[in-house]
């Protein structure tokens, strides 16, 4: 019997914002360009695959709260740098599927009907990453965090995700620190990998997050990614808590 999920548990993270409570629709589409290579003597057309493209469309409720849908989306529109984006299908469980990547916000609209709630919608277009063209904008992966707030003293290694086999072409991870009250020192978030779920090595090190700061970033790795991956976080802080989401995709 297949296992299905309900859309109500979707999580939406853009840059340093958790926008899950502001949206009620998140639509993702991915395409591959094809180029025709049909030659004389063929009885049917032949094609080769080319560049990948992906789009993300969000729609939901307007809010002018600090960190709300209007502040986040109006700020990101037209930025030269592409924000990290993660959409988690069924939040709260490590290993659940998600999409991760980098994408430019290409449109933002607000609707104010006289007899209904004010709403917003935004479109994002994937863009290639800075490390290698293999790291294209948005693609499927797994979430490595639960999204729960963690006390500074409880940070450490989280549960691992088993891919059943290693992969050879690198990876892309997104980090969204959406709330952070840790004081007294920075917090470091690592993505680690292991061939046997016992011996771990660091695959990706995100730039340390300053005390009290929120961030949204993506970072890539090249080469082999071992069978198991996990998040390991630590802090030099002496009080407070932090809420962060990490999405991870293999190339």
pTM for the whole structure: 0.92
Q: How far is CA 200 from CA 106, 191, 194, 228, in A?
A: 40, 10, 5, 9
pLDDT at 132: 45
Cα 157 from Cα 148, distance rounded (Å): 14
SS3 107: strand
Q: Token digits for 8?
A: 């109500």
CB distance 89 to 140 below 8 Å: no
The domain made up of 144-250 is a member of CATH 3.40.50.720: no
Find tokens 């030269």 and name the residue: 80
Q: Token digits for 116?
A: 């209904």
Domain 8-34+49-140 - what CATH class?
A: mainly beta
User: What is the residue extent of each domain of the chain?
Assistant: 8-34+49-140, 144-250
- Mean pLDDT, 10 residues at a time, over the chain (251 residues)? 91 96 95 95 96 92 93 90 93 96 94 97 84 62 96 97 96 96 97 98 97 95 96 97 97 88
Edge-to-edge strand order for the sheet containing 161-162? 161-162, 228-235, 187-194, 201-205
Let me know if the fold of 8-34+49-140 is the same as that of 144-250: no
* Beta bridge pairs of residue 235: 187
Cα 10 from Cα 193, distance rounded (Å): 26
């Amino acid at each position: 019997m297949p296992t299905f999920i309900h859309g109500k548990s979707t999580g939406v993270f853009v840059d340093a914002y958790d926008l899950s409570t502001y949206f009620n629709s998140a639509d993702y589409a991915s395409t591959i360009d094809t180029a025709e290579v049909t030659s004389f003597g063929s009885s049917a057309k032949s094609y080769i695959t080319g560049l990948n493209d992906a789009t993300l469309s969000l729609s939901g409720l307007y809010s002018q709260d600090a960190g709300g849908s209007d502040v986040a989306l109006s700020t990101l529109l037209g930025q030269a740098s592409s924000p990290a984006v993660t959409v988690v299908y069924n939040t709260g469980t490590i290993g659940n599927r998600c999409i991760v990547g980098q994408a430019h916000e290409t449109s933002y609209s607000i609707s104010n009907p006289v007899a209904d709630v004010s709403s917003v919608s935004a479109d994002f277009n994937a863009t290639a990453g800075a490390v290698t063209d293999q790291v294209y904008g948005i693609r499927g992966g797994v979430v490595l965090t639960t999204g729960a707030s963690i006390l500074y003293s409880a940070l450490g290694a989280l549960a691992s995700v088993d891919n059943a086999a290693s992969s050879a072409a690198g990876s892309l991870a997104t980090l969204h620190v959406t709330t952070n009250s840790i004081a007294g020192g920075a917090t470091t978030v690592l993505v680690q990998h292991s061939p046997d779920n016992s011996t771990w090595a660091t695959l990706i090190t995100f730039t340390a997050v300053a005390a009290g700061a929120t961030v949204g970033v993506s970072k890539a790795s090249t080469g082999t990614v071992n069978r198991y991956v996990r998040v390991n976080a630590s802090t030099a802080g002496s009080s407070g808590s932090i809420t962060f989401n990490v999405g991870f995709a293999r190339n």
